[in-house]
Chains A and B, each alone.
Chain A
Amino acid sequence: MGGVNINNLFEETFVAWMNGQAASQSDIVISSRVRLARNLNDIAFPHLLNQQSGQKFMQLISEAWKKSQVNELKQMELVTFENLSALDRKILVEKHLISPYHAQATGPYQGLLVKADGSLAIMINEEDHLRIQCFLPGLQLEEAYQRAQEIDDALEEELDFAFDDHRGYLTSCPTNIGTGMRASLMLHLPAISISGQSGHIFQNLSQLGLAVRGIYGEGTEAIGNFFQLSNQITLGQSEEDINASLTAISQQVIEQERLLRDSLSEQMKYQLEDRIGRAYGILTHARLISSNEALTLLSDVRLGVDMGMIPGINPFALNELVVDIRPAHLQKKAGSDMNAVERDAKRAEVIREKLQTGK
């Protein structure tokens, strides 16, 4: 609709959160995301939808979208999962636009309303009827919230959202009631990891009511030193307060990361340069590389770029590269199915090219 082309979302790797050129703290905060859970009053939650109620739901949501006069909502496109291959759904997961759980859906009433640049994406019938998400580069939770809640307002002109005086927005899982908001930051924290400080810093964060988890890797493992920091509390705090406190706390983490980077480069200059040089050497010459090894070494290279040790590489190209080397994106680039060795070869090739051009 509206002539917007969302093919790029599937054909190209780049989405809005990857370019932090103009965003604050974007060397350490890769991206900010705000997600608002909303449900309709009179229709069963997604896990109980049947064909009839599912169709009714899709009719309501697509009418609300088509009728809207709000630009950002009008610019979005509707994609339902019955029309989307498993590979394309995985592409969306790797860009963080939908959850792994949502990607398992294949129905006509599960899908996505999405803006072509990937800055706004509404998951339809994931755990809740609607999960309105805004993704921006760097540290800008307030902006992300503003844009998400404008979409919320726009949809609300046509839809009756389930809301209760005391419990706030009602959600399918009772842990999300209240604001229904999950705000999260993706952080790259190599110095905190290298200096073995992550354990106690993250313990303090969870005492402050925040959740920390690794973005890549199972459970508490954090391959590539990428961490997600998000609010746990959804009831009893306003959206503005949640965002402000998450921002303030993350600023302390960022400061800690910067201090540790400084002390690493003062006290362990040669070891650090050696580590970064080796990582760069392997990534520019390897012919086969696994996903975990690549993510680990890319973290070192990114640290080197951030600290001015490796010239000629745009750090934001590395945001793109991290997603480039995920399995679905690699397969898309290769244009065909690959076995494990072919995939490791393709990954090594993609990395070599990117590090050569630096863009």
Chain B
Amino acid sequence: MYCEECKIRPATVHLAQMFNGQKIEVHLCEQCASQKGAIIFGTNNQLSISNLLGSFLGGDHSIQEAKSLVQNTSCPSCGIKLFDIRQTGKLGCAKCYMAFEQELGPSLRRIHGNRQHVGKIPLRGGEKVLWRKQMESLKQRLQEAVAREEYEEAAEIRDQIKSLEKRTG
């Protein structure tokens, strides 16, 4: 994501604040953010740039705490340090999501809520996910069939579940 102001540098400052009962989000680079400073939310806003940086992508630690906390943590795959992720707002590689799962968790929830992906699934490497989804929907249908006392249908669905279990090992 780029800075909404200059559209060139990466946005590392993410401001979200309730304003007149409405949530306003602004994504800026550090430079533009410090230039804009207090203008964004008026002069009496208490959010300073530094504690915003600290709170994005890393729980609620201050920058100092965060620095010492993650000094030794780096992604085993790409080598990026959590501190650098906080600085740039970008991860180093796909494996970072696992490597920093704990540390990124709160920020991801802040950005996306507790949502789960429901869109397209890649065919490659996505088979397992597809099977799981199929299984979930079969189990759902099974419950419904049982609730409706449609036992023949339920038996059929059970067979399907068994055969899917066999296929997926």
List A residues at the B interface (Cβ < 8 Å).
39-45, 47-48, 99-101, 104, 127, 149, 152-153, 156-157, 160-170, 172-179, 181, 203, 206-207, 213, 218-219, 232-239
Using Cβ atoms and an 8 Å threshold, which residues of chain A touch B107?
Answer: 174
Asked whether B111 lies within 8 Å of A218 as measured between CB atoms, the reply is no
- Bound state CA distance, A127 and B89, in angstroms? 11
Asked whether B93 lies within 8 Å of A100 as measured between CB atoms, the reply is no
23 of the cross-chain contacts (CB-CB < 8 Å) are: A40-B94, A42-B94, A44-B77, A47-B90, A101-B8, A152-B120, A153-B123, A156-B124, A160-B124, A164-B97, A167-B108, A168-B119, A169-B117, A172-B90, A174-B91, A174-B104, A175-B111, A177-B108, A179-B120, A232-B25, A234-B112, A236-B112, A238-B119
Q: Return A239 CB to nearest CB of chain B, in Å.
A: 5
Asked whether A178 lies within 8 Å of B119 as measured between CB atoms, the reply is yes
- Bound state CA distance, A43 and B90, in angstroms? 15
Beyond A101-B8, A236-B117, A238-B118, is A170–B94 a contact (Cβ under 8 Å)? yes
Q: Return A327 CB to nearest CB of chain B, in Å.
A: 16
Q: Return A335 CB to nearest CB of chain B, in Å.
A: 28
Nearest chain B residue, comparing its CB with the CB of A161: B122
Asked whether B8 lies within 8 Å of A104 as measured between CB atoms, the reply is yes
Asked whether B116 lies within 8 Å of A166 as measured between CB atoms, the reply is yes
Using Cβ atoms and an 8 Å threshold, which residues of chain A touch B7?
Answer: 99-101
Q: Does B151 contact A (CB under 8 A)?
A: no
Asked whether A45 lies within 8 Å of B90 as measured between CB atoms, the reply is yes
Q: Does B22 contact A (CB under 8 A)?
A: yes
Asked whether A45 lies within 8 Å of B93 as measured between CB atoms, the reply is yes
Using Cβ atoms and an 8 Å threshold, which residues of chain B touch A152?
Answer: 120
Nearest chain B residue, comparing its CB with the CB of A149: B120
In the complex, number of A-B residue pairs with CB atoms less than 8 Å apart: 133
Q: Does B113 contact A (CB under 8 A)?
A: yes
B49-79 residues at the A interface, CB under 8 angstroms = 57, 77-78
Which one, B80, B112, B119, contacts A48 given CB within 8 A? B80
Using Cβ atoms and an 8 Å threshold, which residues of chain B touch A47?
Answer: 88, 90
Which one, B1, B57, B118, contacts A237 given CB within 8 A? B118
- Bound state CA distance, A162 and B125, in angstroms? 9
Q: Does B92 contact A (CB under 8 A)?
A: yes
B91-140 residues at the A interface, CB under 8 angstroms = 91-95, 97, 104, 107-108, 111-113, 115-126, 128-129, 132
Which one, B5, B94, B123, contacts A219 given CB within 8 A? B5
Name the interface size band of chain B.
35 or more
- Bound state CA distance, A41 and B57, in angstroms? 22
Q: Return B107 CB to nearest CB of chain A, in Å.
A: 7
Asked whether A163 lies within 8 Å of B126 as measured between CB atoms, the reply is yes
- Bound state CA distance, A100 and B29, in angstroms? 15
Asked whether A163 lies within 8 Å of B112 as measured between CB atoms, the reply is no
Q: Return B27 CB to nearest CB of chain A, in Å.
A: 8
Q: Return B81 CB to nearest CB of chain A, in Å.
A: 12
Asked whether B94 lies within 8 Å of A162 as measured between CB atoms, the reply is yes
- Bound state CA distance, A168 and B115, in angstroms? 11
Nearest chain B residue, comparing its CB with the CB of A179: B119
Asked whether B93 lies within 8 Å of A44 as measured between CB atoms, the reply is yes
Using Cβ atoms and an 8 Å threshold, which residues of chain A touch B93?
Answer: 43-45, 48
Q: Return B135 CB to nearest CB of chain A, in Å.
A: 13
Nearest chain A residue, comparing its CB with the CB of B89: A173
Using Cβ atoms and an 8 Å threshold, which residues of chain A touch B8?
Answer: 100-101, 104
Asked whether B124 lies within 8 Å of A207 as measured between CB atoms, the reply is no
Using Cβ atoms and an 8 Å threshold, which residues of chain B touch A219?
Answer: 4-5
- Bound state CA distance, A101 and B116, in angstroms? 30
Using Cβ atoms and an 8 Å threshold, which residues of chain A touch B124?
Answer: 156-157, 160-161
Asked whether A127 lies within 8 Å of B90 as measured between CB atoms, the reply is yes
Asked whether A178 lies within 8 Å of B117 as measured between CB atoms, the reply is yes
Using Cβ atoms and an 8 Å threshold, which residues of chain B touch A218?
Answer: 5-6
Beyond A100-B8, A161-B124, A203-B22, is A174–B57 a contact (Cβ under 8 Å)? yes
